[in-house]
């Protein structure tokens, strides 16, 4: 049997593998993350003038091969940080600059682009009253979770004061740089109870 005939015998198998595995191309989309929150005391009263440093890591939005093989700077992803101060009711809010997130466009079968929504952000926060400890907050599978990085021990704390609760909502903000569409993203809403 010639090599050509062997190839012809393999074609149905290869076509079946391609149908099952599909064909997708990589891409990206624009999103914008936001954070809002309130710092309260044990009685639920807002803490005025509390300084809050918030950071959206450069790795936010990277997935697949970009996350595994690349450095976020290779994809023009930068860590975004800002310092905020709570108002008279203990509230703070900030909208981060637009950034990209990884997508896959399924050509065969024609399923469209996934994920259909940007990933939920995770943030690192440093509260002036708790400095230099860092709170890392975000989604853990299907629920909101957080950890406190103890700067003194170089480990995550087993006890988790302060108490932090959070939720996410989708929002639309400003026009995209091309001016044709609005940028959508997730807003992380937090409530931090200081002991």
Q: What is the pLDDT of residues 26-81, one digit of tens each?
A: 777 788 889 999 999 989 999 999 999 999 998 888 776 677 777 888 878 889 99
The whole-angstrom separation of Cα 69 and Cα 9 is 37
Which residues pair with residue 175 across a beta bridge?
182
pLDDT in tens, 145-180: 888 888 888 998 877 666 888 888 888 765 555 566
The whole-angstrom separation of Cα 186 and Cα 96 is 11
Q: Characterize the bridge pairing of strands 182-193 and 34-40.
A: parallel
* Torsions phi, psi for 2 (to 5 deg): -80, 165
- Cβ atoms of 151 and 130 within 8 Å: the answer is no
Of residues 36 and 21, more confidently modeled: 36
pLDDT band for position 17 (50/70/90)?
Answer: very low
């Amino acid at each position: 049997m010639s090599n050509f005939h062997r190839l012809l015998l393999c074609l149905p198998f290869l076509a079946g593998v391609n149908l099952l595995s599909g064909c997708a191309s990589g891409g990206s989309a624009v999103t914008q993350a936001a954070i809002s929150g309130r710092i309260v005391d044990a009685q639920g009263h807002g803490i005025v003038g509390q300084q809050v440093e918030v950071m959206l890591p450069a790795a936010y939005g990277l997935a697949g091969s970009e996350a595994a093989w690349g450095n976020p700077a290779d994809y023009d992803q930068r860590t975004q940080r800002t310092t905020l101060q709570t108002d008279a009711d203990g509230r703070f809010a900030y909208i981060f600059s637009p950034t990209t997130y990884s997508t896959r466009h399924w050509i065969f079968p024609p399923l469209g682009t996934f994920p259909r929504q940007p990933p939920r952000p995770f943030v690192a926060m440093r509260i002036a009253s708790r400095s230099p400890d860092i709170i890392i907050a975000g989604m853990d599978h299907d629920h909101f979770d957080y950890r406190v990085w103890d700067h003194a021990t170089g480990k995550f704390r087993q006890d988790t004061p302060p108490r932090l609760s959070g939720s996410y909502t989708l929002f639309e903000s400003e026009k995209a740089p091309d001016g044709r569409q609005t940028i959508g993203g997730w807003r992380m809403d937090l409530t931090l109870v200081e002991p």
